[in-house]
A and B are shown apart, each in its own frame.
With several copies, the nearest count.
Chain A
C-alpha cells in the first residue's frame, strides 16, 4: 500500500525546514527575575512601610507571575507553564524549610544561654528559682529509651526474620505485615493509654513507672524496627543464603551468621532512627511515667523525669519562676533536638558505611 496516498499531509508542498531553534529567554532569566522581584518588592516595602513578611510575599508573587509571563511572551505557553511549575515547586521546598530554619534558630537562640556544666549534671531537687538542671530528665530519657530498645529490637528483628525467612508470603506473614504497617500509625497517646491500662490492671490505680513508659514506647518502636529490618533482609541476595545452605549450614545459623551480619548496617540504621523517633515522645510518658524533680534510675520504682515531659511541664507549670522554667525548657529542647538530630545523622552515616555491598 502506498502511504503517500493516504496522507494528506504528505501532499503539502515543500515541507518547511525543521524548526529547531525556539526563541528562548536567557539562562540567567530566573535569577534575574528573582532579583528584580525582590528589588521591586523591597522598594515598595520601603516606600509604603510594609513588614518583612509582606515584602517577601510580594516578591514571591511578582516572581511567580513575572517569570512565566516573560517566558510566555517569548517562549510560548508551554515553556511558560513549565517555568511556572518549576518556580512553584521550588517555592514549596523553600516554604517547607521555613519552619525548620525558624525552629532550629529559636531553639538554639533561646536554649544556648542556660546550657552549662551545672545544667547537664544537676537535677531539680530542692530548686525553686534559677539553677538546677536536667540531669535527672536526661538519665530518665536514656534509661527508658534504652529499655524500650531492649524490648523492641529483639522482638522487631525476630519478627522481621519470621516475615522474610520463614513466613514468606503465607497468610500469617501477610497479616502480620499488614498489622505492622497499621501499627506504625498508632497515635502515641494511645500507646500510652495502653501501657497505663495494662499497668493499672496489674498494680492498681495511680501507678507511674518507668517501665510502663518503655512498654508504651516499644509499641511505637517495634513496627519501625520490623519495617527497617524487613527491608534490609529483603536486600540480602538469595545467593548468599544458598551459598551457606550448600555448605551444609542449618537455616538458623545461616540467618544468624550470614544474613544478619550482611544486613547489619541497615538494621542498625533503622534501629537508630527508631530510637530517635521515640526519644522525643512525650504523650505516653506523661501518662504512664509522670515526672519528678529528683534523679530516679530505677524504672521499676515510681516516677521518672524525661526530657520531653520536663520540657512540657516546665512551660506549663508557670508561677513565680516562669521565666526560669521557660529558659530551662528551651535549654532542654536544645539538648533533645541535638540528641535526636545527631541520632538521625548518625543513622545515615551508619547506613552509608554499611550499605549493602553489591558487586565488587
Chain B
C-alpha cells in the first residue's frame, strides 16, 4: 500500500524567488522521514512540493523530478487533484472544517468528491479512521458535534483521521505538534509509530527530540545565507544524523549552537 518517493534535483520557486534548491533524496516506503532545519530554510515548501500543494500558491512552481510509484508527479498528464488524494497532508495548525460535525469532517475527503456511500459503509470508514487516529474512544459519543468543539490535540488527530479516511499511500505532516501541549504531542507521536506500518510518513518538525524519537531517516535543511535558497545539507538514518552527522553544520544545529 505505501510507496517510496524519489526526488531528484528539485528546485522550488515562489515566482522568481528560488526558495529551495537542488534537492535529491529517496524517501523509503513504510518508514518515517523527518525534516529539520532553521526557520525559513524551506522545509514546509519542500514538503508541499511532494503532493503538489505548492502550486496552490499563486506564482509558485517547481523544477525537477518527484517520482512516486514510477510516475513523475509533475508530468503534464498527471492530475494534481488525484495526486493529493494519494498523498495526504496534515498541517501545523489543526484545521477541521468549522461547518461540519466530527463525523462529516472525517468523511470530508470522500464526500466532497461526490462519492455516494451507503450509510453503513460511511459509518465504517468513520470508525476505522478515528480508531486509526486514536480518537475513536474520545469522540464516539459525540460524532454529530462540531469538530471545532474538540481540544487542539483532538482536533489535530481529527485532521489525521480525515487524512487517512481517503486511504492515501503517503502522509505528509508539517509540524503537526507545534501547536499542541505535551500530552497531545505524545499521543500523536504514538500514532505516528502505529501509522508507519501502513503509510509512508514524512514529518517536518522544529523539535529535534521529536525527530529523534519518531523518525527512521532525517533530512537536515539549511540556508547558506539570509536571502539565499534553502538546500538539503544531509540526509541519513536518524541514528546517524543525531550521533555522528556527516556535515559539521548539522552537528552545530543539533547541538543548539545556532538556529
Query: For the complex, is A250 an interface residue (Cβ under 8 Å from B)?
Result: yes
Of B105-113, B209-217, B236-244, the stretch lying at the interface with chain A is B105-113
Select B97's contact among A79, A245, A258, beta carbons within 8 Å.
Answer: A258
Task: Find residues 237-280 in chain A having any chain B CB closer than 8 Å to their own CB.
Answer: 237, 239-250, 253-254, 257-258, 261-262, 264
CB atoms of B71 and A239 under 8 A apart: no
Q: Check B23 for interface membership: any CB of A closer than 8 A.
A: no
Contact B73 A357 (CB under 8 A): no
CA separation between A10 and B198, bound complex, in Å?
Answer: 8
B97 nearest in chain A by CB position: A258
Number of A-B contacts (CB under 8 A): 138
Q: Shortest 7 CB-CB distances between A and B: which pairs?
A: A248-B85, A22-B79, A247-B109, A246-B89, A15-B1, A261-B99, A248-B84
Report if A234 contacts B (CB, 8 A). no
Q: How far is the CA of A250 from the CA of B56 in the complex (A)?
A: 11
B151 proximity list for chain A (CB < 8 A):
360
How many angstroms between the C-alpha atoms of A3 and B194 in the bound complex? Answer: 8
A168 CB-CB contact with B under 8 Å = yes
- Report whether A239 and B77 are in contact in the complex, using a CB–CB cutoff of 8 Å: no
User: Is A117 an interface residue, CB under 8 A from the partner?
Assistant: no
CA distance A258 to B100 in the complex (A): 9
Collect the chain A residues with CB atoms within 8 Å of residue B169's CB. Answer: 15, 18
Set of chain B residues within 8 Å of A245, measured between Cβ atoms:
53, 56, 81, 84
Q: Report A-chain residues with C-beta under 8 Å of the C-beta of B195.
A: 3
Give the interface size bracket for A toward B.
Answer: 35 or more
Q: Which of A7, A10, A22, A261 contacts B82 (CB 8 A)?
A: A22
Please state if A3 and B166 are interface contacts (CB–CB under 8 Å): no
Report whether B109 and A20 are in contact in the complex, using a CB–CB cutoff of 8 Å. no
When the two chains form their complex, are residues B98 and A262 in contact, meaning their CB atoms are under 8 A apart?
yes
- Given the known interface contacts A18-B86, A21-B77, the answer about A244 and B112 at a Cβ–Cβ threshold of 8 Å is yes
25 contacts between A and B (CB under 8 A): A1-B194, A3-B194, A3-B198, A10-B1, A15-B1, A18-B68, A20-B73, A21-B71, A21-B75, A21-B79, A22-B82, A237-B95, A239-B93, A241-B56, A242-B56, A243-B96, A244-B108, A245-B53, A247-B163, A248-B86, A249-B81, A249-B108, A249-B109, A257-B111, A357-B98
Chain A residues lying within 8 Å of B84, measured Cβ to Cβ, are 245-248
Residues of B at under 8 Å CB distance from A?
A: 1, 3, 51, 53, 56, 58, 68-71, 73, 75, 77-79, 81-86, 88-89, 91, 93, 95-99, 108-109, 111-114, 128, 131-132, 148-152, 155, 159, 162-163, 166-167, 169, 194-195, 197-198
Contact, CB under 8 Å: B91 / A242: yes
When chains A and B are docked, how far (Å) is the Cα of A259 from the Cα of B95?
Answer: 13
Report yes or no: B132 in contact with A3, Cβ–Cβ below 8 A.
yes
A101 within 8 A of B: no
- B112 touches which one: A15, A168, A247 (CB < 8 A)? A247
Residues on B with beta carbons closer than 8 Å to the beta carbon of A360: 148-152, 155
What residues on A are CB-neighbors of B194 within 8 Å?
1, 3
